[in-house]
């Protein structure tokens, strides 16, 4: 028998019971649920990652819908428990849903939602920040200053890479990959090479139009190329950012062999999912190639890093914060609440909010 988990309750007399496994930013999501006669229960347990057992206890005997997190394992056990409790809706508070077994959800008649769109620009901005920080060695230089080591300007001090005129490579040119590509092309006048299963027509048109604009103003135009393989991107690009979904086809997409085909001074950024990169191979590659740099927001075994990574000066590491802007996190919470309401048929004035809702 799992221990009871601590909760905070909003609108105790609400007819429908909706559980959120974590407290989420803002109050709009809570108010939306209350307006549709929901009793909202928010788990206030101190531990960061809830176990399947904890969540089964939270679901209890009657539960209409759940908002969960990407750190949780939403599979057979949880969807069976939710279905037994009368629930028909689950929303991940994330766009990525590799932690959700959608087949199991289907089997138990539970609809699944995610939160795309509201995090596109915020996540792309972090990927751009990591690209810049790696190119200009900002974290190393900051540590140097704080250690009191700066004793005057020097021609070789923290020399990094100029981005202008170099090639940015994007693997997975969906919403976030395309937003990142636009930032790097427009902001730093980089040329683009991308690889995706599908053609990114709007992105191509954007780069073509921007190139024409630059040329009309007497500047070197930017260019784009859709690569026929991922290896072409790895060989040609100076900065490569990973933005595919995580599934069987993208697991360890970046491995020892592929790292060896990249330029010795390339920059690799990962704001997708940790297992897209073989992190052990990456640590080895970083050790062997001190001018190769990485910016990582995600890790193979979160919250852990593979041995050796934390000690490497050519790696910038941040704790999965790519979507962490206030606007975005409040938007994700709002979308997650709307997903649960719509999937559970609890919306009264559906037409007022349907355009804000996203489904997998």
Ligand X SMILES: NC(=O)c1ccc[n+]([C@@H]2O[C@H](COP(=O)([O-])OP(=O)(O)OC[C@H]3O[C@@H](n4cnc5c(N)ncnc54)[C@H](O)[C@@H]3O)[C@@H](O)[C@H]2O)c1
Q: Catalog residues that contact ligand DGY under the rule CB under 6 A.
A: 70, 94-96, 119, 323
Helix (H) or strand (E) holding 138: helix 138-146
Cβ at position 268, least distance to ligand DGY in Å: 18
Closest to ligand X by CB, 85 vs 336, is: 336
182 binds ligand X (CB under 6 A): no
Closest to ligand X by CB, 71 vs 208, is: 71
* Count of residues that bind ligand X according to CB under 6 A: 30
Q: Residue 22 and residue 43: Cα distance in Å, rounded?
A: 5
Binding-site member from 40, 93, 128, 176 for ligand X (CB under 6 A): 176
Catalytic residues: 273, 302, 320
Give the CA distances from residue 270 to residues 3, 30, 33, 289, in Å, rounded to whole numbers and listed in that order. Answer: 37, 33, 35, 18
297 binds ligand X (CB under 6 A): yes
Residue pair 122/323 in contact by the 8 Å Cβ criterion = yes
List the 65-68 sheet strands across, edge first. 7-10, 38-43, 16-20, 65-68, 89-92, 111-113
Closest to ligand X by CB, 41 vs 121, is: 121
The one of ligand DGY, ligand X, none whose footprint includes residue 197, by CB under 5 to 8 A per kind, is ligand X
Q: Residue 88 and residue 196: Cα distance in Å, rounded?
A: 34
Do you find a cis peptide bond into 143, omega within 30 degrees of 0?
Answer: no
Q: How far apart are the first and last CA of the chain?
A: 33
Closest to ligand DGY by CB, 98 vs 314, is: 98
Q: Which two tokens stand for residue 90?
A: 């689950």
Give me the residues paired with residue 66 across strands.
Answer: 19, 90
The one of ligand X, ligand DGY, none whose footprint includes residue 357, by CB under 5 to 8 A per kind, is none
Query: Binding segment for ligand X among 14-22, 99-107, 269-277, 329-337 (CB under 6 A)?
Result: 269-277
116 binds ligand X (CB under 6 A): yes
Compute the radius of gyration of the chain from its Cα atoms.
Answer: 23
Binding-site member from 50, 57, 63, 95 for ligand X (CB under 6 A): 95
The one of ligand DGY, ligand X, none whose footprint includes residue 226, by CB under 5 to 8 A per kind, is none
323 binds ligand X (CB under 6 A): yes
DSSP 8-state secondary structure symbol assigned to residue 68: E
Binding-site member from 118, 298, 333, 336 for ligand X (CB under 6 A): 298
Q: Residue 28 and residue 36: Cα distance in Å, rounded?
A: 13
Closest to ligand X by CB, 278 vs 297, is: 297
Which residues contact ligand X by CB under 6 A?
A: 95-96, 116, 119, 123, 171-177, 195-198, 243-246, 249-250, 271-273, 297-298, 320, 322-323
């Amino acid at each position: 028998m799992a221990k009871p988990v601590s909760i905070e309750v909003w609108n105790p007399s609400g007819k429908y019971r909706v559980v959120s496994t974590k407290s989420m930013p803002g109050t709009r999501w809570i108010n939306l649920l209350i307006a549709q006669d929901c009793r909202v229960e928010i788990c206030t347990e101190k531990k960061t990652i809830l176990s399947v057992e904890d969540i089964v206890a939270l679901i209890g005997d009657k539960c209409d819908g759940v908002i969960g997190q990407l750190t949780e394992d939403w599979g057979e056990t949880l969807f069976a428990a939710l279905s037994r409790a009368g629930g028909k809706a689950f929303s991940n508070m994330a766009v990525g849903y590799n932690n959700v077994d959608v087949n199991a959800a289907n089997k138990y008649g539970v609809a699944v939602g995610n939160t795309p769109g509201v995090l596109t620009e915020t996540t792309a901005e972090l990927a751009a920040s990591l690209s810049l920080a790696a190119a200009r060695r900002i974290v190393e230089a900051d540590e140097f200053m704080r250690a009191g080591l700066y004793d005057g300007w020097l021609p070789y001090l923290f020399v990094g890479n100029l981005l202008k005129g170099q090639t940015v490579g994007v693997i997975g040119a969906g919403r976030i990959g395309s937003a990142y590509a636009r930032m790097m092309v427009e902001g730093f006048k980089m040329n683009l090479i991308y690889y995706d299963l599908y053609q990114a027509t709007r992105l191509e048109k954007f780069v073509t139009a921007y190139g024409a604009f630059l040329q009309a103003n007497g500047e070197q135009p930017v260019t784009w190329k859709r690569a026929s393989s991922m290896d072409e991107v790895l060989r040609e690009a100076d900065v490569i950012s990973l933005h595919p979904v995580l599934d069987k086809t993208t697991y360890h997409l970046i491995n020892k062999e592929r790292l060896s085909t990249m330029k010795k001074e390339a920059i690799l950024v990962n704001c997708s999912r940790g297992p897209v990169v073989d992190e052990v191979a990456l640590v080895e590659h970083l050790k062997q190639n001190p001018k190769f740099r990485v910016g990582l927001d995600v890790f193979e075994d979160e919250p852990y890093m593979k041995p050796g990574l934390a000690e490497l000066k050519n790696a910038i590491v941040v704790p999965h914060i790519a979507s962490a802007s206030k606007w975005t996190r409040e938007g994700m919470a709002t979308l997650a609440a709307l997903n649960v309401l719509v999937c559970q048929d609890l919306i009264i004035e559906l037409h007022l909010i349907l355009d804000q809702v996203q489904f997998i």
